[in-house]
Structures are given as structure tokens and as C-alpha cells.
Amino acid sequence: MAKRISRGRFLKTMGAGAVAGSTFSILSCSVSTSPQSSGDGGGNGGGGNGGGGNSLNLYNWSDYVAEETLPGFEEETGIRVTQDFYASNEELLARLQSGAAGYDVIVPSDYMVAIMQKSGVLQELDFEQIPNFENVGEEFRGLSYDPENNFSVPYQWGTTGLLYNRAEIGEITSWDAIFDPEFEGRIAMIDDVRETLGAALMSLGYSINSTDEAELEEAQSLLVEQKPLLRGYFDSTEITPLVENGDILIGHVFSGDGMTPTMDNEDLAYIIPEPGATRWTDNMCIPNGAANVEGAHQFINYILAAGPGAALTNYTYYGTPNEAALPDIDEELTDIPEYDPPDEVFDRLQVIEDVGEATRMYERIFTEVKSS
């Protein structure tokens, strides 16, 4: 997904912040470094240290591993993990392109994997070192951004939709609500060029990957008209507490951020809006310049094991591509219809793709909307 500080419950554990990013420019950012110490947890990941080095540098979205993930990996392999955080796919790319070296595993989203391949910042994976790839479901293999899975394996997946206060406004089903003057000042959108422009495109019945100038201009006009109705553009994790606290009524959020508060508050609901919404997949990749390539493969293989894969999803509330983990996913999560959408909903989900040179047009439009 483009810009977000986390996939999950970042505000509950770390606080909030937002950093804007661009595929074409490096913006100032704050990177947190968090050494992870060993502890209880982990389990059935596979492999020993095998001489691959005793440290691993993970560059990830914040709060995007379970509490036991890194201690479990460290206990099993003897490899100590240090984790840095980025706020957007574009920030991740910019940092790698600027020459930052030493990261062993990164977690880019679908369309960014394709861009990174073209940019030459990824190295091919050695699947002889990732036997747990067999646990990945067929629907998450060979996707358009990496058809042969040469550079990536899936980590988590989810949707982008609306978290709203149904006790206040009743049931909603479509994107129309975020353009409704009735809710002026009580709507928030994700500060993300592809997600927010994509929401406008899909509400108009267009592809989230449109490169048609007329369609994009129509989406721009819709967002300009919407802007006076907004509380603002925020990170998904900043929007969630605004809805929880009643400060706003409708928030544009990623599914983990949207479903988490509904578990404890029946006044809130998360929907996948009609006519279409985003389905994204985050992936594990090894960048060029990785200091511990063997350890990186071990980490990827560990995440794809049944136990660590289930623990990850039970913590983040995002979907797992790991079929071996499915029997151990918490029932309270699988009971949420939006967690595992039925076929008729899944079929109208769209995947953000690299739009090539049109990326510049998307960036320009979003800048103009925010400055209007």
C-alpha cells in the first residue's frame, strides 16, 4: 500500500506519525531503530543458523510483526534482529535508491515490488532455502507484479475500506458516504496518492489503475469537491482512533485498522465499499546490498511456517497467504465477514499496479488536490 505507518495497532503501542513519500523524490523522514531481544514464543519455523551471520536487519512497517515473531526467530536461529521502520512504499524505495545498504529483508507492497524490480534494487530469491514456500496458497502465487515469484513472497494481505459509526449514521455500503455534505468535517481520508485517488476512481466506476487522462481529471474534480468535507488526510492508524473517539464518523482505512476496533465496539463497522475497493498484498524481499542473505532466507522461511504465520495474522488482523497457518487463526477474526470476503465481494476488489509514467500524473493530481 502506499503511505501508511503500520499495518495494525500502531497507536496502541507506539504512538502516531506521518511521513509523506514520493517515488521520485526523497523526503525528510524519521527512521526508528529497534533491536529485538530474544524471549518466549516462536515455534516450528525450521532451520538453524547455518553460518549465515548472527544479525539480521529488517526494514518494515511499524507494528507489523507479532510480539513473539522476532524473539521466536532469534531463539530458533541464534540470529539477532534489528528492525527499522518506514512510513510508505515510496520512502522505502527512495531510501534504497539513495544508497542505504545493509537491510536484509524488506516488506514492500504489490505495485512497489514491480517498481523495485525495474529499479534494480532487489535480488532474486533462492527457493531451495525457502521450503515453506509450499505453504503459500495458489491464489497468492504468480501475481502480476512478480509472475514467477523471482523477487518476492507474500507476507500479509488485506483490503482498504471504510470504518464508520453506524450507530450515528446507519448502514452504508458504498463510497458515496465520503462525498456526502451531511458529514462535513467528520470524514478522514488516507494520505496516500494511490489509495485516495483510487477511491475516487472506483467510486466513479473506473479502474484503480486508470491511465486515462479524462478519468483521472474527473477523479481529481471529485476529490477537490470533497476536500471541504474532510477533517483531513491522515495515516490509517491515525484515523482509527478518530472514529473510535467519535471525533469523526467515517474513516478511510486499511482493513486491520478497520476491523480491530469493531471487535470491542458494536457501534462501529468496517465495510468494503461498492462498487470496488483495493486488495493489497505485502511481500518479503531481499534488497541488493543485503549483509546477511542466508539469514534473510531463513527469516522468510520462518514467517511462512504454520505457527509464526498464524501468530502474525492473529496479531495484525490482516489476512494470511499461508495455508498452513489457517487452522490456527483465531475464530473471533475469521468470524468477521470482511476478514475473508465472499466470492462476490472478492471479485470486485482491485489490485494497485505500477502505472509507469502515469505515476507522475497521479502525484501531480494529488498534490493539486491537497493544495486546493
Residues 354 and 365 in one domain: yes
More confident residue, 336 or 82: 82
- For 128-131, which contacts have Cβ atoms below 8 Å and span 24 or more sequence positions? 129/294, 129/297, 129/298, 129/301, 130/297, 130/300, 130/301, 130/304, 131/46, 131/301
Residues 138 and 166 in one domain: no
Domain count, the chain: 2
More confident residue, 62 or 242: 242
Partners of residue 164 on adjacent β-strands: 250, 269
Dump pLDDT digits (tens) for 17-48.
332 333 333 222 333 334 333 333 333 444 43
Q: Is residue 308 part of a domain?
A: yes
Q: Determine the structural domain holding residue 132 and report its residue range.
A: 10-157+281-334
196 membership: H or E segment, kind and range:
helix 193-203
> What does the alpha-carbon distance between residue 298 and residue 151 come to, in Å, rounded to a whole number?
15
Residues 228 and 359 in one domain: yes
> What does the alpha-carbon distance between residue 144 and residue 127 come to, in Å, rounded to a whole number?
19
Q: Is residue 164 part of a domain?
A: yes
Q: Is residue 225 part of a domain?
A: yes
Q: What is the mean pLDDT of the chain?
A: 86
Residues 216 and 186 in one domain: yes
Residues 182 and 40 in one domain: no
Q: Do strands 250-254 and 187-190 pair parallel, antiparallel, or not at all (unpaired)?
A: parallel
324 band by pLDDT with thresholds 50, 70 and 90: very high
Q: For residue 62, what pLDDT is reported?
A: 81
Q: Is residue 3 part of a domain?
A: no
**pTM (2 decimals)?**
0.79
Q: Going edge to edge, which strands form the sheet with 55-60?
A: 33-36, 80-85, 55-60, 105-106
Residue 348: CB atoms within 10 A of its CB come to: 15
86 band by pLDDT with thresholds 50, 70 and 90: confident
Q: Is residue 301 part of a domain?
A: yes
Residues 241 and 354 in one domain: yes
Q: Is residue 2 part of a domain?
A: no
Q: Is residue 266 part of a domain?
A: yes
Count of all residues that appear for the chain in the document = 372
**Mean pLDDT, range 10-23, rounded to an integer:** 32
Distance of CA 141 to the CA centre of its chain: 18
Residues 219 and 78 in one domain: no
**Mean pLDDT, range 107-116, rounded to an integer:** 95
245 band by pLDDT with thresholds 50, 70 and 90: very high
Q: Three-class SS of residue 282?
A: strand
Residues 35 and 95 in one domain: yes
Q: Is residue 5 part of a domain?
A: no
Measured in degrees and rounded to the nearest 5, phi and psi for residue 165 equal -95, 95
Looking up residue 187, the CATH number of its domain turns out to be 3.40.190.10
Residues 267 and 363 in one domain: yes
Residues 269 and 319 in one domain: no
